[in-house]
């Protein structure tokens, strides 16, 4: 399976799309960003890839890695 990043993007018709990197069509369309994230997260986990979340202006606002992160966070010592 390809480790294709999953993007959550805002569309001109005010809906949100779940789309794989380099795909020409969305996997699914949703009325809210939260619904799109809920659909995209399991895909990113399955692909062991990145979930890239875009804002209304389609600039990246957040991302979550579900694969082998080359720079994992260091655990805090309590």
Whether 67 is covered by a domain: the verdict is: no
Compute how many other C-beta atoms are within 10 angstroms of the C-beta atom of residue 59.
8
Whether 38 is covered by a domain: the verdict is: yes
Whether 1 is covered by a domain: the verdict is: no
Whether 12 is covered by a domain: the verdict is: yes
By the 8 A CB rule, do 61 and 54 touch?
Answer: yes
Whether 65 is covered by a domain: the verdict is: no
Structural domain for 24, as ranges: 6-57
Tokens of 38: 């809920």
pTM: 0.83
Task: From residue 36, give the alpha-carbon distance in Å to each of 22, 70, 74.
Answer: 18, 26, 30
Number of domains in the chain: 1
Tens of pLDDT along the chain (78 residues) come to 457 899 999 999 999 999 999 999 999 999 999 999 999 999 999 999 999 999 999 999 999 998 766 666 666 555
Burial letters 1-14, b for 16+ CB under 10 A, else e: eeebbbbbbbeeee
Whether 25 is covered by a domain: the verdict is: yes
């Amino acid at each position: 399976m390809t480790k294709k990043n999953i993007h959550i993007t805002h569309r001109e018709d005010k809906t949100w799309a779940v789309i794989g990197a380099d795909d020409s069509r969305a996997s699914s369309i949703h009325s809210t960003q939260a619904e799109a994230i809920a659909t995209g997260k399991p895909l990113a986990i399955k692909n062991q890839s990145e979930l890239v979340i875009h804002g209304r202006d389609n600039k990246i606002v957040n991302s979550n890695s579900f694969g082998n992160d080359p720079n994992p966070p260091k655990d805090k010592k309590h």
